[in-house]
Chain A
Amino acid sequence: GENVEQHPSTLSVQEGDSAVIKCTYSDSASNYFPWYKQELGKRPQLIIDIRSNVGEKKDQRIAVTLNKTAKHFSLHITETQPEDSAVYFCAASPFTGNQFYFGTGTSLTVIP
């Protein structure tokens, strides 16, 4: 099955700096890659996603890049704010309706 690895496990940045979280996957059949933000005690919330036919997607301060050849994808948050502090999970899925394989999470702390 699919194996998703995520780095780093913790990340601290100063407010206004950029944060980058990286994930790798093993199954070349994976074609959908969502990112979730989870605040303490709350549900994972989808913040951005990308499909394998696209190399990059941006939504305001958040962007995701995908390198299919290398089987890795990254989340980029620019101009970080304290409210960006949370645990971020990447995931990969091979088919519509299939399960999501989650990474181990990155705890992001934005220092005011």
Chain B
Amino acid sequence: EPEVTQTPSHQVTQMGQEVILRCVPISNHLYFYWYRQILGQKVEFLVSFYNNEISEKSEIFDDQFSVERPDGSNFTLKIRSTKLEDSAMYFCANPTAGGRTDTQYFGPGTRLTVL
């Protein structure tokens, strides 16, 4: 069964720098999500994409965040000016290719460390 993939697996950056996290979702699905998980805490919703547009975003997803689909298949999450508190695991997710739209399958995640 196809899986969601993410790159890089680990990103280390200096505070104030921009980072771009990439995800290749399960193909042919209109829904797409980004979540983050601070170490030892719960998974938190950031933003959802439907049919190439942001459909919902949380309070966490402020102006420093943006999400794009630059080439029709990959999705990117950009953090413009990273802060120490942005250190977390970032997961992308989307429904299985089996036609169900209610469940979400997670990618392996990118561990972002802001120094």
- Name which residue of chain A comes closest to B56, CB basis: A99
- Name which residue of chain A comes closest to B33, CB basis: A99
B91, B106, B108 — which one has the most chain A CB atoms within 10 A of its CB?
B106
Would you call A97 and B55 a contact (CB within 8 A)? yes
Would you call A102 and B102 a contact (CB within 8 A)? no
Contact with A along B85-115 (1 / 0, CB 8 A): 0000001000000000111111111000000
Q: A89-B43, A97-B55, A105-B42 are in contact. Are A46 and B48 (CB under 8 A)?
A: no
| Bound complex: CA A99 to CA B56 (Å) | 8
Decide if B75 is an interface residue (CB 8 Å cutoff).
Answer: no
Name the A residues within 8 Å of B42 (CB-CB). 89, 102-105
Would you call A99 and B91 a contact (CB within 8 A)? no
Name the B residues within 8 Å of A109 (CB-CB). none
In chain A between 16 and 69, which residues have their CB closer than 8 angstroms to a CB of chain B?
Answer: 32, 34, 36, 42-46, 49, 51
| Bound complex: CA A21 to CA B104 (Å) | 21
Decide if A85 is an interface residue (CB 8 Å cutoff).
Answer: no
B88 → chain A closest CB, angstroms: 13
A34, A89, A97, A102 — which one has the most chain B CB atoms within 10 A of its CB?
A97
Would you call A98 and B108 a contact (CB within 8 A)? no
| Bound complex: CA A100 to CA B55 (Å) | 14
A104 → chain B closest CB, angstroms: 5
Q: A44-B91, A89-B43, A105-B42 are in contact. Are A97 and B31 (CB under 8 A)?
A: yes
Would you call B106 and A43 a contact (CB within 8 A)? yes
Name the A residues within 8 Å of B102 (CB-CB). 32, 49, 51, 93, 96
- Name which residue of chain A comes closest to B49, CB basis: A97
Would you call A98 and B56 a contact (CB within 8 A)? yes
Q: 8 tightest CB-CB pairs across the interface, nearest first?
A: A99-B45, A43-B106, A102-B43, A96-B101, A102-B42, A32-B102, A104-B42, A97-B31
15 A–B contacts, CB within 8 A, in A order: A32-B102, A36-B43, A36-B106, A43-B109, A44-B91, A46-B103, A46-B104, A51-B102, A96-B102, A97-B31, A97-B50, A100-B35, A102-B42, A102-B43, A105-B41
